[in-house]
Amino acid sequence: MVGNEVCLSRFPTGDRRNWTDAEWDVLDKFQRIWLNEFFHHGEECFDDGMCMFGLAQWPLDSLFEQILAQPAEAIVERFWQDWCSQKSSIWITAFWEDDMMDKALQFYQSEAVRTKIGVVLASGNKDLADKTRQVLEVIDTARQG
């Protein structure tokens, strides 16, 4: 059995130059739908799906933007599930190549992510306040080193 991370890595599927406009439209829609569904319903850690598309050469910045476009509450729930429900650390797959792992870690620890999920605390959402604090604590711990 092979993890999701390597499923698309044999060919640069995410390099738009390899496709006609019509083909790219289909692939781009597939990528966005798949990542969104995996974000909300995937049983494996979300980073596995990010890595799958990263290894297939989808631009990482585009993948990161798709995460930040999610509702803040959904980001808290997803990151809490992946990072806090069993242990307290940013979980990242070992399948990332080259500097991609560093870029993914930098994104997960970024001020953009902290600001996005910090909105949940500011909103007074008592149901998610503890989870939000735990996710922020994991991010802050990772940032400190």
Residues 116-137: what's their mean pLDDT?
Answer: 93
Write down the pTM of the prediction. 0.89
Which residues 6+ apart lie within 8 Å of 17 measured at CB?
none
Rounded to an integer, what distance in angstroms lies between the CA atom of residue 24 and that of residue 13?
A: 9
pLDDT band at 29 (very low <50, low <70, confident <90, very high): very high
Rounded to an integer, what distance in angstroms lies between the CA atom of residue 25 and that of residue 31?
A: 10
pLDDT at 6 over 60: no
Residues 97-102: what's their mean pLDDT?
Answer: 90
Q: How many domains does one find in the chain?
A: 1
Per-residue CA distances from 29 to 11, 25, 91, 100, 136 (Å) = 18, 6, 27, 23, 31
pLDDT band at 145 (very low <50, low <70, confident <90, very high): confident
Would you state the pLDDT for residue 44? 87
Would you state the pLDDT for residue 1? 52
pLDDT at 10 over 90: no
Would you state the pLDDT for residue 138? 96
CA diameter of the chain: 48
Rounded to an integer, what distance in angstroms lies between the CA atom of residue 120 and that of residue 105?
A: 22
Which residue range(s) make up the domain with 94? 4-144
pLDDT at 3 over 80: no
Rounded to an integer, what distance in angstroms lies between the CA atom of residue 131 and that of residue 129?
A: 6
- Coil, helix or strand at residue 42: coil
